[in-house]
A = this chain, B = another copy of it.
């Protein structure tokens, strides 16, 4: 039973608190937040202590920390926590700066750091990956990832987000790496601002298509939009030599209504909390299992840096439309 400190007490921290509590291999012992009141509230709900971040990291009885604070603190906290001998599960991204992330990667080399690429633990994407690994469609050739949010975040958030490629598509870059089993050699990006002109005024795009090419000729294409009014659209499709695998959306329910207006089913689950709730629990379980067994973590700091490098390359490519070699970033 590992003792866990939770750094951050926001919405996603609440999801993690449930996962930590209900997992038989872990115990939530402390929570911190830069707003002390939030930490106290969450601590009360889960019967643990509200403490400061420094205090938690300094406590030798705590085995692991889950970092669910704001992005700009991730690298520092990873370094501090690993320095204090703790296992770490940190929310993505490692950092908005690729240089800073790489410094962190170097500092934490050999330490147990997992990055929270929750989608790897989604049962649907997991089943797709398992079918691929089992050889069910032969050699993969052409990967397509569709990833649309239901609605854009506030422009204030956009401004500090690092941009669509670092903030949103980074999940899809990791998904591509997860499925293809390696990083691409080049990244070509096209981005537009057609959903909300204020996003463009803030210097970002809201709609983008990125093409990835691999050393052996395989191709992947990622589509992002900040707005799909029907809900969170999260699909992966992979053409292989012997067939096609598609992971489709999860729906709110299975009811279908047939009337004179057509045949209507439920929408996709609304957003990431609904869609990926089972994935968060599975992610935590995988962390606990690996830490307990001393085995390899299923999504590492290296993976976090690799996805960030792709985001950097895409950001550059979107300015010219020309391909950017991943080796150049």
Contacts and interface: CB of A to CB of B under 8 A. Distances in A.
A89 to B, nearest CB: 22
Contacts of A221: 209, 221, 223
Contacts of A207: 141-142, 217, 219
Contacts of A24: 45
Nearest to A229: B260
B247 A254 contact: yes
Given A142-B209, A188-B188, A260 B321 contact: no
A131 to B, nearest CB: 6
Interface in A249-304: 249-268
B216 A136 contact: no
A61 interface: no
* Number of copies of this chain that the complex holds: 4
A230 B195 contact: no
Interface centre among A139, A216, A244, A249 (most CB of B within 10 A): A244
A248 B244 contact: no
Contacts of A231: 258
A276 to B, nearest CB: 13
A227 interface: yes
Interface in A222-245: 223, 225, 227-231, 233, 239, 241-245
Contacts of A62: none
Nearest to A256: B246
A36 interface: no
B262 A265 contact: yes
Contacts of A267: 258, 260, 262-263
A127 interface: yes
Contacts of A137: 257, 259
Contacts of A247: 253-255
B230 A131 contact: no
Interface residues of A, number: 74
B253 A124 contact: yes
A243 B218 contact: no
Contact of A263 (B211, B259, B264): B264
A282 to B, nearest CB: 12
A255 B128 contact: yes
A192 B143 CA distance: 13
Contact of A259 (B22, B186, B195, B230): B230
A61 to B, nearest CB: 20
Contacts of A201: none
Contacts of A225: 141-142, 239
A68 to B, nearest CB: 20
Among A242, A256, A260, max chain B CB count under 10 A is at A256
A65 to B, nearest CB: 24
A323 interface: yes
Interface in A123-160: 123-124, 126-128, 131, 136-137, 139, 141-142, 144, 146, 148
8 contacts: A124-B255, A192-B217, A207-B217, A209-B219, A230-B243, A230-B262, A231-B258, A244-B259
